[in-house]
Structure 1
Amino acid sequence: MLNEIDLSRTDLNLLVLFEAVLGEGHVGRAADRLNLTPSAVSHGLGRLRRLLNDPLFLRTPKGVVPTARATELAAPIADVLARVRSVMATAAPFDPATAMRRFAIGAPDGVSAVILRPLLAELSRIAPRIDVGVRQILPSPARVWRSAIVDLEAHAIDIAIIPSDDIPPRFEKRCIYEEDFVIAMRPGHPFARDPSLERYCSMQHLVVSDSGDPYGFVDEQLAKQGRARRVALTVPNFMFALAVIAETDLISALPRRFVAMHAARFGVLSLDAPLPLPGFRLNAVAPKVAMMDAGVAWLFDLLAEQTAQKHPSGLPARSRQS
């Protein structure tokens, strides 16, 4: 990427600047992230543009977008910086008991609501100066988690936790827990007295869908049996779903661990589904080059250790019926 002459007079911080502007998509936000002025960032971009002989970022009304060349350079630069950070980290070995760092975790809200309670408890005990930021990530159409991969490669997040096994080989992947679905409803709901498939199909349903699309995996399973249901409402997240279910006659298929951990505060009950619903695995994902960072590797292992424990109710996940 750089010849020997250029490298001898190149400031490595220009690559850090590139990484920040790419991740933020905005010069001002990149400046805030780097504790620099927007003018200093613009000046650094000018030097980098001359060095790489490309505009790199094009201005838009909402910020900047990378050129084709900048997109092509994103992965190699991320690899270079990860290796440099790994080398520098060896000078001060990562010790969670004393380390002062902030990590970013990306996950759907139904997943972050499950992992945060045990994670925060453990951090308080063994790593009191470690801070965590949680970023909600959403699937692309057809439930593909491409945005998580993009965020990882742009260093917007350190680790993603997603319900997908379709992970490129350049990423480390580990299953941290398995999940399935239960049917959630308010206390005294008529469905609880007759939890049959026919009765289920006659109910009014709530579906969690950020896009507002009312057709989901439950509808796919019903269609296989020649059945359908009425989706009366869609909401954008699982916590909102619990709040709505608690005060209406709507019912919803929600993740079992999530319901076991949070339904009691809303007074919501759950039953096993009257039809087979697919389970899925939640995988922690991080770039393999990022795993060279001892801090990221430590958090990756900690997430697996905390969430691989038994069901929060104290019973095995599939034996619980509330």
Structure 2
Amino acid sequence: MRDRATELAEPVAEILARVRRVIASAEPFDPARSTRRFTIGAPDAVSSVLLPPLLDQIRLLAPGIDIGIRQLLPRQGEPSPTTAWSDCVAELEARAMDVAVIPFDGLPARFTVDKLYEEDFVVATRAGHRFAGDPCLDAYCSVQHMVVSNNGDPNGFVDRVLAERGLSRRVALTVPNFMFGLAVLAQTDLISAYPRRFLAMYGGRFGVVGVDAPIRLGHFNINSIVPKVALMDAGLAWLVGLLKQSGNAARTGPA
């Protein structure tokens, strides 16, 4: 019991120190007059969906507030979401960003998790690609694939889904974000798993279309994640509320 108390002493002390810092620096928050900058971490396919309605609200309600976006992606090749997103959660706890918006909700009770919208994946291809005419599983495995990976690792969740059926694919290219990937897909015969809402919003600009996959590629809740102690900050609590409104707009928008 004594060893366990010693083990818990440091994290508890850090939480109490954060509470004291928040209380000591607390000031009335007026969004209309504030000039704060908030940092939101998210995959670009998520931030691109949420930013248009979020920035519209900020322009109307808080024109002096600035937003910074950090690109977040899971570790490639990890067998579980908990380990795949652990780096992002650690950065959030270190206050490298104010809010994380990621497709993960298996977090300890010290975090507040709010569902913003739901997302699933489709197969993205250039318009006129032969796969769109015959989107069967054999065709899916035989064409060359592009994977969005922040570290160049080609192994992702699609490979796990295929491996469960004894199948595999060739990943011919990795790119660092979804938006850049649209330009690549538009000019090549590569295909890629893409979030449905993101592709519906931006694919048409590049001549890239979405095709339902011949296998289920996953369904995710897109959640805002904040340490509970941080929500004592009235400004951050306001931002989380604004993100919820942006999530409502995403749910009613194109999908």
> TM class by shorter-chain length?
0.7 to 0.9
CA distance in 2, matches of 1:132, 1:241: 24
Q: In 1, are the aligned partners of 2:125 and 2:191 still within 8 Å (CA)? A: yes
Q: In 1, are the aligned partners of 2:15 and 2:229 still within 8 Å (CA)? A: no
Matches within 5 A, 1:175-194: 175-194=115-134
Task: Specify which of 27, 33, 36 is matched with residue 98 of structure 1.
Answer: 33
The aligned amino acid for 1:192 is: A
CA distance in 2, matches of 1:115, 1:128: 18
Q: In 2, are the aligned partners of 1:74 and 1:154 still within 8 Å (CA)? A: no
Determine whether 1:278 maps to 2:236. Answer: no
Residue deviations 1:170-198 (CA, integer Å, cap 9, x gap): 11111111110011111111111111111
Residue deviations 1:102-129 (CA, integer Å, cap 9, x gap): 1111112221121111111111122111
Structure-1 residue corresponding to 2:101: 161
2:194 counterpart SS class: strand
CA distance in 2, matches of 1:72, 1:95: 31
CA distance in 1, matches of 2:12, 2:113: 24
The aligned amino acid for 2:55 is: L
The aligned amino acid for 1:312 is: G
CA distance in 1, matches of 2:75, 2:208: 30
Structure-2 residue corresponding to 1:297: 237
Matches within 5 A, 1:60-71: none
Structure-2 residue corresponding to 1:229: 169
CA distance in 2, matches of 1:234, 1:286: 30
2:69 counterpart SS class: strand
CA distance in 2, matches of 1:139, 1:217: 10
CA distance in 1, matches of 2:115, 2:59: 24
The aligned amino acid for 1:157 is: M
TM superposition outliers: structure 1 runs of 4+ over 6 Å: 69-72
CA distance in 2, matches of 1:291, 1:274: 42
Q: In 2, are the aligned partners of 1:137 and 1:147 still within 8 Å (CA)? A: no
2:135 counterpart SS class: coil
CA apart distance, 1:203: 0.9
Segments of 5+ residues of structure 2 without an aligned counterpart are 1-8
CA distance in 2, matches of 1:136, 1:79: 28
**TM-score normalized by structure 1?**
0.70
CA apart distance, 1:71: 8.4
CA distance in 2, matches of 1:192, 1:168: 42
Determine whether 1:200 maps to 2:135. Answer: no
CA distance in 2, matches of 1:145, 1:225: 25
**TM-score normalized by structure 2?**
0.87
The structure that has the greater radius of gyration is: 1
The aligned amino acid for 1:108 is: P
CA apart distance, 1:311: 4.5
Structure-1 residue corresponding to 2:253: 312
User: Which has the higher relative contact order, 1 or 2, with Cα contacts under 8 A spaced 6 or more apart?
Assistant: 2
2:56 counterpart SS class: helix
Structure-2 residue corresponding to 1:170: 110
Determine whether 1:107 maps to 2:48. Answer: no
Q: In 2, are the aligned partners of 1:107 and 1:134 still within 8 Å (CA)? A: yes
CA apart distance, 1:74: 4.4
- Give the aligned length: 241
CA distance in 1, matches of 2:137, 2:73: 30
CA distance in 1, matches of 2:88, 2:192: 26
- What root-mean-square deviation, in Å, do the aligned CA atoms of Structure 1 and Structure 2 show? 2.0
Residue deviations 1:34-82 (CA, integer Å, cap 9, x gap): xxxxxxxxxxxxxxxxxxxxxxxxxxxxxxxxxxx99886444323212
1:231 counterpart SS class: strand
